[in-house]
């Protein structure tokens, strides 16, 4: 996509507050001095067998970009690719039911959608939210000395791959699903109570990909502390068995010239850092003096696995260094 977009001119407009310049999570358009629209769209293929859960996960994943920008979801529209010749329509009903539940949980309203016949099942949302123009969170405002807080554990892509291979233990799979259906609304609420410089959510490009986007957008570098990063039970073990999605290796190859991982990090576990997440957590950059306060607020809101995983430093040779 980056290659496809490169020849095209950047969209410029005085009311376009966030466009495609730094591959941020969503676009932001100012409609008044007090309000801006946050707009995003995303859809995925099934990563679980249960259609209702798939609908919940896909919707939570789509809504996440609005939270990452500091916004509140207001409206949503369904996006569906459905193989009607091979699947019963009741499956689609359950997918949409799961999505609707998450839309309502977010306090948003479903306005409609669009469906096409597709040999591969796909579902997601186009979401519009609102944010005050002076309270937008982007991936490009990090400052030297900031600490990084991650609100969800890594490993959902690896565990989903193990599930497809019928090798995921039920308890491990359930924990991953619980993480994916969890909205990032509470994390966004906690973030709004602190002085935050930058934010992004961790999805298809993995922790390393989205962290590098923050580093690149801010003109700085990031140091991550591997032992502090929360990883779902089973993800390391499945990774060492080779149960890894192809997207993780693509992420790794794309970033290999810009990242350095210490020899202290077990070689077979490193791929977890590149694992594409579905409905992952928020990665938040804020002053060191605010870090512990944010963690406390996240704990109070039930986000128990949030952790301080790194810091922002002056631009170095590598965008990301994992220690």
Domains present along the chain, CATH in parentheses:
2-131 (3.30.1330.10), 147-322 (3.90.650.10)
pLDDT of residue 22: 76
Could you tell me the CA-to-CA distances from 159 to 34, 38, 95, 154, 163 in Å, in that order? 43, 31, 21, 10, 6
Model confidence, pTM: 0.94
Name which of 197, 183, 193 is nearest 138 in CA terms.
197
pLDDT in tens, the chain (323 residues): 667 767 878 788 999 999 888 787 899 999 999 999 999 999 999 999 999 999 999 999 999 999 999 999 999 999 999 999 999 999 999 999 999 999 999 999 999 999 999 999 999 999 999 999 999 999 999 999 999 999 999 999 999 999 999 999 999 999 999 999 999 999 999 999 999 999 999 999 999 999 999 999 999 999 999 999 999 999 999 999 999 999 999 999 999 999 999 999 999 999 999 999 999 999 999 999 999 999 999 999 999 999 999 999 999 999 999 99
Cβ-in-10-Å burial (0-12, 13-18, 19+) of 112 comes to exposed
Please answer whether residues 234 and 159 qualify as being in contact, where contact means their C-beta atoms are separated by less than 8 angstroms: yes
Quote the CA–CA distance of 231 and 266 in Å, as a whole number. Answer: 14
pLDDT of residue 8: 78
Please answer whether residues 222 and 319 qualify as being in contact, where contact means their C-beta atoms are separated by less than 8 angstroms: yes
Quote the CA–CA distance of 316 and 33 in Å, as a whole number. Answer: 38
Quote the CA–CA distance of 134 and 149 in Å, as a whole number. Answer: 22
Question: 296 CB contacts (<8 Å, ≥6 apart)?
Answer: none
Please answer whether residues 45 and 78 qualify as being in contact, where contact means their C-beta atoms are separated by less than 8 angstroms: no
At residue 149, the 3 state secondary structure works out as strand
Residue 223's H or E segment, with its range, is strand 221-224
pLDDT of residue 11: 81
pLDDT of residue 1: 64
């Amino acid at each position: 996509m980056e290659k496809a977009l490169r020849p095209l001119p950047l969209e410029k407009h005085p009311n376009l507050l966030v466009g495609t310049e730094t591959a941020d999570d969503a676009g932001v358009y100012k409609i008044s001095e007090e309000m801006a629209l946050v707009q995003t769209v995303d859809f995925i293929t099934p990563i679980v067998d249960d259609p209702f859960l798939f609908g919940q996960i896909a919707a939570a994943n789509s809504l996440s970009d609005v939270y990452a920008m500091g916004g509140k979801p207001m409206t949503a529209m369904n996006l569906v690719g459905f193989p009607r010749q091979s699947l019963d329509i009741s499956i689609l009903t359950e997918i949409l039911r799961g999505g609707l539940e998450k839309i309502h949980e977010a306090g948003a309203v479903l306005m409609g959608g669009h469906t096409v016949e597709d040999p591969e099942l796909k579902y997601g949302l186009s979401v519009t939210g609102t944010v005050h123009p002076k309270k937008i969170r982007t991936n490009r405002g990090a400052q030297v000395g900031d600490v990084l807080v991650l609100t969800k554990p890594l490993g959902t892509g690896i565990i989903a791959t193990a599930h497809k291979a019928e090798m995921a233990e039920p308890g491990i799979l359930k924990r991953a699903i619980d993480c994916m259906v969890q909205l990032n609304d509470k994390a966004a609420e906690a973030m709004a109570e602190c002085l935050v410089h930058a934010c992004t959510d961790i999805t298809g490009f993995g922790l390393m990909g989205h962290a590098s986007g923050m580093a690149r957008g801010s003109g700085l570098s990031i140091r991550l502390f591997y032992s502090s990063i929360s990883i779902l039970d089973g993800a390391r073990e499945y990774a060492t068995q080779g149960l890894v999605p192809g997207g993780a290796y693509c992420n790794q190859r794309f970033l290999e010239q810009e990242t350095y991982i210490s020899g202290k990090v077990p070689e077979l576990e490193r791929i977890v850092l590149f694992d594409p997440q579905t409905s992952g957590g928020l990665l938040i950059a804020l002053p060191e003096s605010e870090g512990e306060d944010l963690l406390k607020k996240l704990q109070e809101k039930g986000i128990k696995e949030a952790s301080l995983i790194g810091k922002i430093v002056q631009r170095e040779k590598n965008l990301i260094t994992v220690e």
